[in-house]
Amino acid sequence: MADRERQVTRTFVALADTLVDDFDVADLLHTLVRRCVDLLDVAAAGLTLVDERGSLQVLASSTEQARLLELFQLGIDEGPCVECFASRTPVLVADIAAAAGRWPRFAAEAAREGFASVHALPMRLRKQTIGALNLFGARPGELAADDVYLAQGLADTATIGILQERAVRHGETMSEQLQTALNSRVTIEQAKGVLAVTGGLTMDDAFAALRGYARNNGLRLSDVARALAERALDPALVLARRKA
């Protein structure tokens, strides 16, 4: 229990550390999903944010399988993430197979990706909802109430980070702030592809290399991704540390 408490404390400190001047939204969101997997009894986590047109977009995921499942449910407009955002309330599903009548196509795809349970939590601040945090389990089962409460607290912390007052002081609207994060997501996917092809890596390993290089060199994740996508940064330099 003491070790878990230390991990929880470190997680909130890690999230707080990102909330400095000129913080990296992309890194904040990836920190959130990975810490959820570390702290909670879940196999993977994903995060979606609403864009300026009101459509949900996948921003971060702990595994490629989670990312693909998130993209699938957004594409068919069916699933717990979509329902969570629309209702602004948690959607907790202990057994996806048992909910097949509710979301038939999502349930079938979740089974193909190896997930049996899902818990979707709204990313909201007061009356404003900007997305959803989605926790996927490899086996059926409810999350403990304390884990749901912790996950919601982590989601709330990230939401505050995205919508913090600094954006207003800098003259940015909420939609502009969110669009910046969404644009970063596209660039990060491109950079992952470059590293995956160059190094013969899985997409998960490619992202680990990308993020490791950014953090080791004190750079923004989105800036490193853009440099790779635009061929301004040699992929070999990013991969070199991984091979060391």
- 94 Cβ neighbours under 8 A, 6+ residues apart: 117, 140, 141, 142
Confidence (pLDDT) at 172 = 56
pTM score, whole prediction: 0.70
Q: In this predicted structure, what is the pLDDT of residue 226?
A: 86
Residues of the chain by 3-state class (helix, strand, coil), percent to 5: 60, 15, 25
> What is the rounded CA–CA span in Å between residue 244 and residue 240?
6
Predicted pLDDT of residue 1: 54
**CATH number for the domain running over 182-243:** 1.10.10
Run means of pLDDT, 10 residues per run, the chain, 244 residues: 68 62 71 87 91 84 92 94 93 95 95 96 86 95 91 84 58 61 79 86 86 83 85 86 58
Per-residue confidence (pLDDT) for residue 15, from 0 to 100: 65
Matching residue, tokens 């709330």 = 156
Which CATH number is 2-163 given?
3.30.450.40
pLDDT at residue 169, as a whole number = 47
Q: 117, 94 in Cβ contact below 8 A?
A: yes
pLDDT at 77: 93
How many residues are recorded in the chain? 244
Is-same-fold flag (2-163; 182-243)? no
pLDDT score of 214: 85
pLDDT on residue 223? 84
Phi, psi (deg, nearest 5) at residue 138: -80, -10
At 170 the pLDDT is 52
User: Domain limits of the chain?
Assistant: 2-163, 182-243
